Amino acid sequence: MRGGPVLHAAVATRSFRRYSTYRAATLAGIFTNSVFGIIYSYAYLALWKDNPTAGGYDAQDAVTYVWLGQALLMTIALWGGGSTDDLAERVRTGDVAIDLHRPVGLVGWYLASDLGRAAYHLLTRGLGPTVIGYVLFDIALPPSPLTALAFAVSLVLAVVVSFAIRFLVASTAFWLLDQSGVKVMSGAFAIFFSGMMLPLVLFPGWLGALAQALPWASYVQVPADVWLGKHTGGDLVAALGFQVMWAVVLLAACQGALHLATRKVVVQGG
């Protein structure tokens, strides 16, 4: 990563501060998260009442899963958005041509910015629904300090994987001028394959196998299972390793996309 850690820390902090000005929006968001949390909790309770061990979960696991999903929604920017929207905008206006010539790695820059944002969303729209879920539905908490730590690691990895995919989506703007179409489709896939709509452990047969192998599984399913203590020992390492693998592969893809884009910009003159 070109540009030192101090620079990237500064970028992250600035991003955090920028998002923290949206206080009213954050409160409104926590309210909405909670309403959806309540709706899905009752839906899952109905399902698990009829089938108490569906997908290897019990009812409390399932309800905890709902609230974790709501808490993670903004942190990992599941619907899209975050710092990569800035990238897409700069591509649209052509300003990105300047960025491509700066001596700072673009991917690292935007990643730092997104992590700053994610930190803010974690503290507000992550913590908020978790607390409300605990109060209303008595959701399960991590069974041990090690689990809690593993969850924290898994969460950071989830943000990185999500960032990489969003970066790739935003970089389509170099070719399509407008990322919105791709962004909407990517968001829809993310909702489905992250386990946000329904835990991936419920997906039957080949669909389940596919879903658990795709990068979106890193978003919600893996961190949630870590939190619930479903992965221990070697299993835990494998789960985190899965996220690391996708993070590395996708970040490399981001660099590749940027390389192609730079060539295009140079050849076509922006």
Q: List interacting residues with other proteins (CB under 8 A).
A: 22-25, 27-29, 31-32, 35-36, 39, 42-43, 45-47, 50-51, 54-55, 181, 184-185, 188, 191-192, 197-198, 202-204, 207
Cα dihedral 56, 62, 67, 70 sign: positive
Residue 204 CB, nearest approach to other proteins (Å): 5
Nearer to other proteins, 23 or 267 (CB): 23
Chain centre to alpha carbon of residue 124 = 15
Nearer to other proteins, 57 or 109 (CB): 57
Phi, psi of 233 (to 5 degrees): 60, -130
Residue 3 CB, nearest approach to other proteins (Å): 33
Residue 56 CB, nearest approach to other proteins (Å): 11
Nearer to other proteins, 57 or 151 (CB): 57
Nearer to other proteins, 110 or 219 (CB): 219
Nearer to other proteins, 45 or 127 (CB): 45
Residue 246 CB, nearest approach to other proteins (Å): 22
Cβ within 8 Å of residue 255, ≥6 positions away: 107
Residue 160 CB, nearest approach to other proteins (Å): 25
Cβ within 8 Å of residue 38, ≥6 positions away: 136
Distance CA 11, CA 131 (A): 29
Q: Are 123 and 71 in contact (CB under 8 A)?
A: no
Residue 36 CB, nearest approach to other proteins (Å): 6
Nearer to other proteins, 29 or 215 (CB): 29
* Cα distances (Å, whole numbers) of residue 38 to 45, 182, 195, 220: 11, 30, 17, 18
Q: Any idea which residue has 């592969």 for tokens? A: 249
Two structure tokens written together for 245 = 């693998």
Distance CA 216, CA 158 (A): 9
User: Residue 73: what residue type?
Assistant: L
Residue 181 CB, nearest approach to other proteins (Å): 7
Distance CA 136, CA 38 (A): 9
- For residue 22, count other CB atoms closer than 10 A to its CB: 13
Nearer to other proteins, 62 or 111 (CB): 62
